[in-house]
Amino acid sequence: MAYRREIAIVLVMLLVIGGVWLLVTRVGKSSGSAQTQFVTEAVHNAALTCYAVEGAYPTSLEYLRKHYGLAYDQSRYLVRYDAFGSNLMPDITVTEVEASDS
């Protein structure tokens, strides 16, 4: 009879550990998503600042880095910046690069 109680305790502990693991996994994913959004907003705001100061959107990310202090982890985020014209907001897409398990 005592072994049933021990088995029940072990099962409850496994459920708790599994629940904590799922929670940590979800928090990590949402944190990455929030950081990607932060980088997107930083690029967007730098482009808007350039437009407000110079009257034209910049043609490249390099220009924003050099003249407006845009900084982000380039090894972690891939930023696609497609400028269409000096008076049109560029298309900005930020993707988090997945780390390899090597």
**What are phi and psi for residue 78, nearest 5 degrees?**
-105, 120
Name 74's bridge partners.
none
**Within its chain, how far is the Cα of 55 from the centroid?**
29
Mean pLDDT of 23-28: 64
pLDDT tens sequence across 54-72: 999 999 999 999 999 999 9
Beta-carbon count within 10 A of 51 CB: 17
Cite the DSSP H helix spans in 55-99: 61-68
Q: Looking at per-residue confidence, does 25 or 33 come out higher?
A: 33
